[in-house]
């Protein structure tokens, strides 16, 4: 599964008549990555189901909206684990989430944010 499906943001940009909002959305997503990851990691580590669900659903939806298909899928799997109360496996997944998230942000920056800039 690819990290990024760039057609998602290209289509959003087309729908917004090339207004630059899609690029700003991608830039904001990239800028918020560390905060999102920290919030999710803290909630999973503390086994705070409500906060973990809030954070992982936010990650899943925002990742899908920027075309981060691999990260959105990881978030979906993590969401299922959280709903099952399996925080041991959830913690084990966090390294993959962190790794793919950083790569997703990097890919967004090089293929959409800078390219469209």
**pLDDT score at 112:** 76
Summarised one tens digit per residue, pLDDT across range 10-67 is 898 888 887 788 888 899 999 999 999 999 999 999 999 999 999 999 999 999 999 9
What whole-number distance in Å separates Cα of residue 53 and Cα of residue 41? 11
Per-residue pLDDT at 115 exceeds 90: no
Closest by alpha carbon to 100, among 65, 81, 72?
A: 72
Per-residue pLDDT at 116 exceeds 60: no
Summarised one tens digit per residue, pLDDT across range 29-43 is 999 999 999 999 999
> What count of residues does the chain have?
117
């Amino acid at each position: 599964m690819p990290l990024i499906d760039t057609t998602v943001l290209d289509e959003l940009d087309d729908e917004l008549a090339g207004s630059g909002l899609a690029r700003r959305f991608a830039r904001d997503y990239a800028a918020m990555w560390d905060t999102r990851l920290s919030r999710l990691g803290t909630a999973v580590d503390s086994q705070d189901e409500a906060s973990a669900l809030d954070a992982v659903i936010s990650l899943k939806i925002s990742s899908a909206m920027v075309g981060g298909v691999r990260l959105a899928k990881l978030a979906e799997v993590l969401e299922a684990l959280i709903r099952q109360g399996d925080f041991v496996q959830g913690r084990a997944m966090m390294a993959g989430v962190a790794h793919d998230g950083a790569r997703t942000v990097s890919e967004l920056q090089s293929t959409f944010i800078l390219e469209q800039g």
